[in-house]
Structure 1
């Protein structure tokens, strides 16, 4: 499998994301924000960082990058897309995911190893987990508070589209402790914690994050068998 990793001006975690993709046994393919095609990749990761300096709103300028036009079309057609931190913000700005990310309610930058509960496990990015499984993944953000109107929040809950939820305290004021959500189809997932920083036992809190990337391989194999 070939997994595209997009680099925007200001991306910080694109190399970490590529390393995680490689650790999962797939091939990372660098995609530049100015590209007008996805180079035939099988999935895309939008990494963390401060795209275009986070001017206006986080992700608001990146949403109009040339690479986003083919990405939005491909995502709407079923291409697996994972947005991490700033990537989550970009997906919300591009209306591939509902809601928005705002400044942490503490008004402080948060950096911690965060406990999470995995709730949706039928996506290409989470099928390697079990429902209700508790994991630990690093979290680092200043504008990570997930917000949406009550109708949208209720819809996410009713349709089982909350992918991961914060445990042990809410680090940024996200409504209903939501740490990540998906689109209805499940191929597009965004989350604020950084699974690419938890892919081995040498660096970070462990290897819980690696399964977000190995899940993609499992999903592809399952699709191939069913075909």
Structure 2
């Protein structure tokens, strides 16, 4: 069967085409979806891509989280469909209350662009099962509002329930509490992270590695994970 993964474009999305490319390289079919529609076109999974939806006015992701299609996204997530939010997409997920906490301006008040080492803290989600628990990966990061925050009670629950999907290693680029780079929901079908796995899927275009320049493809396993998870669910 062909796994179909929808990528939702919002006004100001920048990385939707990169997400399409990553999905195609991983072996699935990308499906273009529009923020103003109410039709998910029968896709098996969803990606909310990075960018600056609505110019990041009000709060990053806050307006996009109220786009018409987000009612369908919420229903699909509640039904168990895998949903990935990348950077601005992660901001949408927390603004839509599909993930806890919030994201604020980077601690240094600067836009950050770097190839970032992450540790895979939870390899039991629909988007991380192709990784090993505790595995270190390198994923490009580019954001200005990536500081993860939550109140003490929420933070304790996140940590206690194992909902941290990824954690920054070596450098905390944006002041995120507990070095949190990405989260999963309780069910493990919804995952959000600030770094961009779609920019690390093809040799020659990814982060530098010890093997060669631009050879990093660690992001590909996120898309391979959801393809495998969706195929298992359909079997």
- Take 1:219 and 1:61, find their aligned partners in 2: how far apart are those partners? 31
Report what 1:213 is aligned to. 223
- Pairing of 1:187-226 with structure 2 (within 5 A): 187-205=189-207, 206-225=216-235
Report what 2:212 is aligned to. none
SS at match of 1:117: strand
Q: Give the Å deviation of 1:200.
A: 1.5
Q: 2:14 aligns with which of 1, 12, 18?
A: 12
Report what 1:104 is aligned to. 106
- Pairing of 1:23-102 with structure 2 (within 5 A): 23-102=25-104
Q: Give the Å deviation of 1:221.
A: 3.1
* Structure 1 stretches of 4+ moved >2 Å: 220-225
Q: 2:146 aligns with which of 144, 147, 171?
A: 144
TM-score by length of 2: 0.94
Which consecutive residues of structure 1, in runs of 5 or more, have no partner in the other structure? none
Deviations 1:46-66 (A, max 9, x none): 000000111000011001111
Which consecutive residues of structure 2, in runs of 5 or more, have no partner in the other structure? 208-215
- Take 2:205 and 2:146, find their aligned partners in 1: how far apart are those partners? 23
Number of residues of Structure 1 aligned to a counterpart in Structure 2? 225
TM-score by length of 1: 0.98
- Take 1:89 and 1:202, find their aligned partners in 2: how far apart are those partners? 29
Deviations 1:36-78 (A, max 9, x none): 1211100000000000111000011001111101111111111
SS at match of 1:41: coil
- Alignment check: 8 A CA contact 2:147 2:176 kept: yes
- Alignment check: 8 A CA contact 2:147 2:174 kept: yes
Report what 2:183 is aligned to. 181
SS at match of 2:47: strand
- Alignment check: 8 A CA contact 2:44 2:230 kept: no
- Take 1:132 and 1:162, find their aligned partners in 2: how far apart are those partners? 12
Q: Give the Å deviation of 1:224.
A: 4.1
- Alignment check: 8 A CA contact 2:4 2:29 kept: yes
